[in-house]
Each structure stands twice: as C-alpha cells, then as structure tokens.
Structure 1
C-alpha cells in the first residue's frame, strides 16, 4: 500500500514516473506503454450501483503486469482484474472486474486508477492511468407501466414580465486534466518524467538527493519534461511540489544484474517489485496535487 493514500488527497497525480536521459530517448517507443482502463455503471432505485471495469494494454507485442488498483468505489474488485494479473497484449483481450456498492445521497465520482509494469529490454516501464465510469442506464428491474392519470387542463399562461430576465448562473470551470508521471531506473540512471496535458496546470517539482544535489522540473501544460540523476548505491531522491506541503523520498533500486557492468540490463524478480513500489509511491504523492486543488480551490501559478 502506498504511503500516501490516493483516497486521502487524490488530485495532481504523481505516480509511476519513467524517464529518459536525452532527446533521442524521448522518441523511444517505450514511452507509449500504458494501461487503457474504461468503465461503465448502472444504478438501481435502492441506490445499489454496479460498476464494470475493463483494462487493456497499449502494447501489441508485450504483455504487462497490473501493479496497483485504486478505486473510489468501496469494496473489492471481483473478476480477473487484480494486482499481479497479467495484462494481455493489445488485441488478445482485456482484464475485467466488477464492483457493487449501495450509495446513499448523491452518487460520487466512480474512478479507477490502474498502474501497470512492462519489462522491455534494459528497462522496466511503470505507468498509471485513471478513468471515470460512465452511466450505462438503469439496472433496476423494469416495472409495469401504471395507468396514466387524466390530463389536467392547461394552466393560464403567466404574464411575461417586462423586466429583463436575470442572467444565467455561470457554470463551474472545468477541472484540470491530470499529468502522467513515470519512473525509470537502469544500471546508470534514475530518471523522472512528466507529461502535462494541454488542459493541465503548471507546477514545479524539486528533486533533492541525499547528498544535496538539487534539480527542478518545471511542468507546463502541453509539454513533457524530465530530470535524471547518475545512479549509485544509496541514492535517495526527495520530491517536493510547489502546491502541497507533502514530500516523498524514493530510494534508487539497482537492477539485479548490474553488478560490475555498465549500461542498463533487464530487471527481474524482487528488484522489479521494488521499482514498481517506488513508482507507486510517486503516483500517490503527485495525486495529492489535483485533489488539493479541488478541495482547497488552490490557485495554481507557474
């Protein structure tokens, strides 16, 4: 479980960061790796809601592994969608799961955040995506139609007021889109990358190592930015965002087969799990930002 719970502060996301060490790396197909979640729900008259989730794979040649699931719907997800489940290659099926819960009062946002991991060549790629379930009709049993009542005579029309009608209440501004964060650890580097959507918000993240080396990542809507550190045993990077007080420290995990060798090598076994864990920590840390913005109505500035 993440040290920062998405349910606790859910809002600017900062999750599974995967980076690259140069312009050439940004063009690397590895950046395309991501889960493809979707969801629909129906609601009964007694407040019982059934949500059906589905998660696909962006990759046609490589299966992935589900590393984390966070849902705003209380209760477990039943079915094949589960942590450690294998995510089939694109075109070979999807993972599906169902949640059922009885809500009282207004129906909240039904949101699922999925984190998945791919092992390709000399990298482990971890990324998370979120989706809000869309309504799929009423799942209450159909009731026989009642006999319609006799229509009442139409009421006399009200006189039209001469005064100017009041202006319509302005609609609430649209919420910002969440950025995508990634983490990549190889034998040589520890790299953090963020893709800020065109409708995102600007923010700054400050990365500081245990030796006091500091780098800043200025994220602007519609742009992708990254920072990298030379990897070494004992490397720790603390991340601080300019819009929340929380910080997170991520330990560098050296891939299993790096001892005595240069260059990135495939990561398997326990090391892979540790990397995924670090990515999940970042996902929770950054997720705080958007929710803080919604709940505190923070005014973000560059």
Structure 2
C-alpha cells in the first residue's frame, strides 16, 4: 500500500476515534440539566406583568443508562432578582418530564422588559447541571389584560328624605335617612336663626324640627343634603289662624279672643299662678271674647288653646309698670306707651320654638297702655 495513503488512513482513524470519544464524554457531562420554561399572560393596567415558571428534570430515562434518580435543586437564580412565589426552591426534587412540574410566579413592574431563571441541581450519581445551555427568556407581554367580568359592588347611595308642613304658629321640617348603609348629613338654615347640621339615624322616624314664624309673618327654611343645592321650605299658614290679641298693661293682662268666620270652634282654657281653677271659654267661628286678669306681683297666666288639632300650652307673665318718676323743676310730658295689642297667632308662633316635650313656654310680650288712656 502506498505509504502516503497509509498515513492518510491512520490520521483519519485517529480523528474519528477522537471525535467519538469527545462526543461520548460530552454527552455524559451535558445530559444532566434542568428544564425551565416561562409563561406570560397579559399586561396589567398599571404596566406590571407576571410570569409563571415551570421546572422539571431532564429526560434521563431515554438514555438507557439505568435509573439515575431524580435531581435535587441546589441553587435558584432569577434575573431581575425578584421573589419567587411557589414551590421552586432549594431542596425540592425535580419531577420527571410528563410526571408534573414545579411552578412559581414572579411579578415585575412596568420598567422590567424581560426575565430569566436559572435552576441548578445535583443527581444521585454525583452529576451536576443547570439550564444555562437551554435558557428560555420571559418577555414583557404587549397585550393588556381583559377587565374583570365580575361586576364591582356599587358604592352605597344615601336615601335622604325631607318634608315640611305649616300650622298657625310656624313651620315643621322633617328629615330622615332611609338607607342604613349610607347616611346623609342635612344642613338646615332657617331665615330667622342660625344654620346647623344633623345626621339622622336610619329609619322612617327621622328627626323633626319646629321653627316659629316671626312677627312679620315671614319664614323660610333651606335644607341641603351633603352640601348640595338646598331645598327651600316656606311657611304657608291657613287663613283662619287668627286666635286674637292680648295686652300687657299697667293694670294686668287683657285678652281679646276671636275666631274667624271661616275658622273652627276653639276652646281657650285659662289658669293662673294664684288660682288653679280653670276658666274655660269656647269661641265659635265669627265670635269674640274678652278676658282680663288683674295684675298682682308674680302673676302668671297659663293658656291652653285647643281647636281640634294639637293643644298649644303657653305662659304669660305680668310685669308691673315702672314707678312714676319724681317731679323735676323742668316738667316733661308723661310717657306715652303703645295701646295696640299683640296678635296671639304671631306672638304664640314666635314662642313655639321653646316648647320642649309638651312643657309650657314662657312668653313675655309687653304691650303697655298709658295710664291716662284708661
């Protein structure tokens, strides 16, 4: 055989044996590894995203070298370094492919574009390996997540109610909260008083407030709910609310009781601090009745008005006139005091705000008549 040919054949055989040995050596070393795969879903509204990692052993059963045994995780390295939530951890046994997997999740902020996970393991035969040669990268998804199909629970809405009604003496305002899950705050502003706030407990009873009419007969009450636009309630008394007049004179207390022709029969019951025996006067529509009480120190006249509705109790206290001033060198005119009476309807209405739990109220409206007028 040609010497040159022998040399070529010998070199070829050596190279072939060398390559075979290298492949055999490399196969044994490179076969032991971990399998790691990422799965991403969608992008949250705030830009954050979540990856789910699954880890298994390599397919050593297919190599025919006998049962090598399952690998055990010895190290876990994530890039970026974000906590793993799941069962991928040092000391865990890797399942064989097709027999389950270890899983864990990571959630990244909007600034993270990609992530990797390297899992190192060791096998019973002493071999060690990881997934660096088979590394799979998780990329930030581009598709936004679908909104939650489950309807969110709507926020409770207040069921705030308000009403008003007028009587002969003033205006009554009723406010209530009917939804126990959301209570409204009412701001109540009477035209003849200070504003205040109230938050009634839930229920049909609510809270009721009485506002007396002024002497001019004007009265409105604004009611707003949780700072919104107010609703105005105006006093609108009936035309038959005139109960008469009274006079606080230097001699005593005089009452001129009257009922309008279109009114209803009204009962006036008087007692005094000096005589508890009641004096009862029933006045028919269109009629009048005069009643007088002589003034004595400390005199109080109690009056109960009944006209088929709620009874109205009141008090009138008599105050003596001032003493006549001493004579002076320079004569002056005697003091002239008003002679007109005060309307029971308006005066009583002004005092109605002081009624508390049916207690009598104190009403002092002094209308003096000059001594020379008597």
TM-score (norm 1): 0.35
Question: Which protein has greater RCO, CA pairs closer than 8 Å, 6+ apart?
Answer: 1
